[in-house]
């Protein structure tokens, strides 16, 4: 394990229930990097957050030796390039490109589409669920013959796609719509089990009970009807 961590200062401005924040914690933990976690209140943004991310004003923000980096996918690449143990991106240029492609797909397509369910009911909600399922089918196909999206072991896309495994799929319980039924998505369900077999993942995802409570409260606030 790299000896550098003693003299380096790593801070993470994040939020315990945010998938974008948790993915950074997963990456840092996989690489054995010690960091100070600064929990942020996103409803009442701190002056520190606004100073470190004046452009987007969002978490997560990684601060390494006083220098801030924002945007979770950018932070993940930075972490991989700075702490070289346990690489999370593949070495091969084409595989690396595919990892970036699928990560972008999770954040810009799956996440954005799934979020459209907010405030929708009936036919409109069904349409969003259908659209989300169509997108998830691409991940389903990617997982055929693989233990993880990264192949034999956990990689960049798996870390990003924890958003699907532990946020989107946890929301199902509360919203009462099985967006990812096991009959339609056996590979995704198998992949979630594989993720849960990994100690770092288990350690770094939000504890289920607290998380479900939080999601329920947030949904109520955002006015999403539960079953």
Partner 1 sequence: MASSDVKLIGAWASPFVMRPRIALNLKSVPYEFLQETFGSKSELLLKSNPVHKKIPVLLHADKPVCESNIIVEYIDDTWSSSGPSLLPSDPYDRAMARFWAAYIDEKWFVVLRSFLKAGGEEEKKSVIAQLEEGNAFLEKAFIDCSKGKPFFNGDNIGYLDIALGCFLAWLRVTELAASHKILDEAKTPSLSKWAENFCNDPAVKPVMPETAKLAEFAKKIFPRPEA
**Exposure pattern of 63-97 as b/e (b: 16+ CB <10 Å)?**
bbeeebbbbbbebbbbbbebbeeeebbbeeeeeee
Q: Which stretch binds partner 1 (CB under 8 A): 43-51, 70-78, 159-167, 183-191?
A: 70-78
**Binding of residue 50 to partner 1 (CB under 8 A):** no
Which of 54, 186 has the CB closer to partner 1? 54
Q: For residue 77, give Cα distances in angstroms to 42, 80, 160.
A: 24, 5, 12
- Give the DSSP H or E segment for 209: helix 208-222
Q: Confirm or reject binding of residue 25 to partner 1 (CB under 8 A).
A: no
Residue 158 near residue 197 (C-beta atoms within 8 A): no
Contact between 95 and partner 1 by CB under 8 A: the answer reads no
Beta pairing class for 10-14 and 36-39: parallel
CB of 20 to partner 1, least distance (A): 13
Least distance (Å) between residue 69 CB and partner 1: 5
Peptide bond into 20 cis (omega under 30): no
DSSP for 116-173? TTTT--HHHHHHHHHHHHHHHHHHHHHTTT-SBTTBSS--HHHHHHHHIIIIIHHHHH
Q: Is 73 in the site for partner 1 (CB under 8 A)?
A: yes
Question: Using the rule CB under 8 A, is 96 a contact of partner 1?
Answer: yes
Select 23 or 125, whichever has its Cβ closest to partner 1. Answer: 23
Query: Which window, 33-41, 91-99, 209-217, 219-227, contacts partner 1 (CB under 8 A)?
Result: 91-99
Contact criterion met (CB below 8 Å) for 177 and 226 = no
Of 8-16, 94-102, 124-132, 217-225, the segment contacting partner 1 by CB under 8 A is: 94-102
Segment contacting partner 1 (CB under 8 A): 15-23, 93-101, 112-120, 164-172?
93-101
- Rounded CA-CA distance 220/217 in Å is 5
Based on the shown chain and the rule CB under 8 A, indicate whether residue 78 belongs to the binding site for partner 1.
Answer: yes
The residue from 82, 87, 146, 198 that contacts partner 1 (CB under 8 A) is: 82
Q: How far is the CB of 75 from partner 1 (least distance, A)?
A: 7
Contact 53, 68 (CB under 8 A): yes
CB nearer to partner 1: pick between 73 and 212: 73
Q: Interface with partner 1 by CB under 8 A: which residues?
A: 55-56, 64, 67, 69-71, 73-75, 77-78, 81-82, 93-94, 96-97, 100-101, 104-105, 109, 138
């Amino acid at each position: 394990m790299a000896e550098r961590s003693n003299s380096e200062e790593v801070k993470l401005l994040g939020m315990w229930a945010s998938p974008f924040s948790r993915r950074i914690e997963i990456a840092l933990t996989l690489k054995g990097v010690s960091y100070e976690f600064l929990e942020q209140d996103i409803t009442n943004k701190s002056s520190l957050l606004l100073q470190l991310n004046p452009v987007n004003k969002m978490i997560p923000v990684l601060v390494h030796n006083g220098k801030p980096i924002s945007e979770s996918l950018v932070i993940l690449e930075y972490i991989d390039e700075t702490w070289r143990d346990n690489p999370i991106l593949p070495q091969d240029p084409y595989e690396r490109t595919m990892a970036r492609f699928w990560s972008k797909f999770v954040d810009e397509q799956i996440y954005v589409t799934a979020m459209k369910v907010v405030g929708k009911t009936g036919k409109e909600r069904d349409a969003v669920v259908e659209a989300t399922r169509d997108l998830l089918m691409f991940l389903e196909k990617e997982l055929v013959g693989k233990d993880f999206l990264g192949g034999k072991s956990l990689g960049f896309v798996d870390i990003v796609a924890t958003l699907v495994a532990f946020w989107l799929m946890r929301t199902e319980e509360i919203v009462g719509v099985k967006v990812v039924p096991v009959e339609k998505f056996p590979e995704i369900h198998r992949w979630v089990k594989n993720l849960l077999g990994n100690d770092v993942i288990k350690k770094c995802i939000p504890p289920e009970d607290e998380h479900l409570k939080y999601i329920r409260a947030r949904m109520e606030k955002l006015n999403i009807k539960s079953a």
